[in-house]
Structure 1
Amino acid sequence: MPIKEIHTESLNEFWETISPIGELIGEMQRPIFRGQGDAHWSLTPSVLREDINSKYKNERGTYTQVDQIVMFEYFLLLGFLNYSDEMGFAIPNDSAEFRRHMDFAEFTNRYGMDGTGWPSKEFFSFIALAQHHGIPTRLLDWTKNPLAGAYFAVSQALNLKEPSENLAVWLVDSDTLKQTDSKLEYVTLPGSTSNNLAAQKGVFLIHRQQHGLGRNTSFSAEELKNTVNEIFEESRSSTAYKITLPSKLAGALLFRLNKFGISAATLFPGFDGAARAALEFKMAQKLAGVL
């Protein structure tokens, strides 16, 4: 079934549409949400985003899929692990077996030939922790809280260099994901994985490769960026909704979210979240023309 777009023109209309007791969501079993600052953006995991690739990868033009999806991610995660060790930070589900699996020779032997099975479940908590602290990964962030989804759409919209026309909150009933032929896996993790994950009611979707990736096949990340969208478009039973709001109303939406206790300060516990909340509130005032 194609992705269903719901265009709203007012804050009240948008608010009613994303309400957990509203007509659209009220009958869903386990709805999950993803906010994006530009409604034109695809549902792309950060490790496949063009800006990430241009910032961190060699400009030789093309990579094999194993390079892109497995080894690029692995070396970022390994760096995060090593620096965490230097600082004495605890790693979720740390064990001798986990360390053995992170060893380069073991890792390449297990995943490096064609990428099949990456990432396996024992890595999920570690990858989620890394992603919540800025490491690009294959995990696609979602939340069980519609207001948290709306916050991320607002935050991104406010921080864009070039304003978008519309922001968007994506919605899907996670109970229907099994009807995507197992191409999308719904991942939930303990709140103890990270303070941010708990505060944001975070969950993840991960696109599972159905076949080996192929070591010798060159490709660009651009080829895979629309994969999640395509899975929803081709599904006969799992419907994804894209609920949009004009970005000129982002300031008003942030003010309303603040009244309901949703801000960077509550979703990113700590001083960094407090500072981010103060800066975003000032940007919202500027956009709304408030002194």
Structure 2
Amino acid sequence: MAEETVDSDIGDERRRVLVTTEKPYTGIAHLKHENGKAIGTGFLVKHGGRIFLVTAAHCLWDRSKGAFRAKIHISLGRDGEYHPFGTIRKKAVDFEVPREYKETRGRKSDYGIIRLDMEKHKLNKCCAFDLEPRTDEYIKSQDLYMSGYPGIPKEQKDGVPGWPTGTQWKIKLTTVTVNKQSLQYRDATTPGNSGSPVYEMKDGRYVAHGIHTNGIDENHTSNKAVRIDADALMKLVKSTSHGTRPQDSPPQQDGNAPNDNHSEPEKFSWFQYLWNMVTSLLYIPLKIVTLLSQSAAPVWKSIVAFFSA
């Protein structure tokens, strides 16, 4: 992943998602290479009676090698070191991107899918985005949001998107323009946001309209998302639907990122098991304390100022 730079000239309004176990954040995943290096973001989609993970094609296809990445680790709703739904390990046999992207690497075909199994991968507690074909005018009239996993920023301090590592950040987009192939906006994004959903909230559901693919550079004046074509995605899904494969591996419910050895289950010491249990039990209370302390901060400042006068 490249060094973090903010792709926007209108400021960075992204905010950290404090509770990733709520909708729609449970359906948004941090993607990591088997060597531990961050790749980007993905999100669950349900359509045509199927459920699968959508991301940018360049998160799956290694352009330097002209082949799929060998293995990817998927952590839905990740919040730093907390992995509420474990980690799913997937191999290249379950990845698919358009042939056009493999041949030309064109931005309009920069999308792909990872095949998942609802029961095997225990996805029933995770939010899955809906797909609904809509007109340009309809999409432009809606409040659109994006949420994903920015990479580690150059300035590593609280409040900077991407820090702590593996945290999810959201934003309400403000400058969206729409055409047949893409959604464009000048709101801030950074490397790691690739594959993030651009979506609307509708009647308690979350409908994805775009897949974030690239930021502002010498060739692009706006950040951009590929506009979702449900039929095109379903073609990719069907091309990988060959039944359960021996390469699949179930989620690791230990709450930690897996190691690089996929031939055997990861082994943990008694101390690691105890630590994982304690951190999982304390997660919600600590979040509540954090929220209360943030809301109480102005009050304490006023008290301190009064007695200091």
Give the TM-score range, shorter chain.
under 0.3
Work out which structure has the larger RCO, using CA pairs closer than 8 Å and 6 or more positions apart in sequence.
1
- Structure richer in strand, relative to its length: 2
TM-score (norm 2): 0.26
- Structure richer in helix, relative to its length: 1
TM-score (norm 1): 0.27
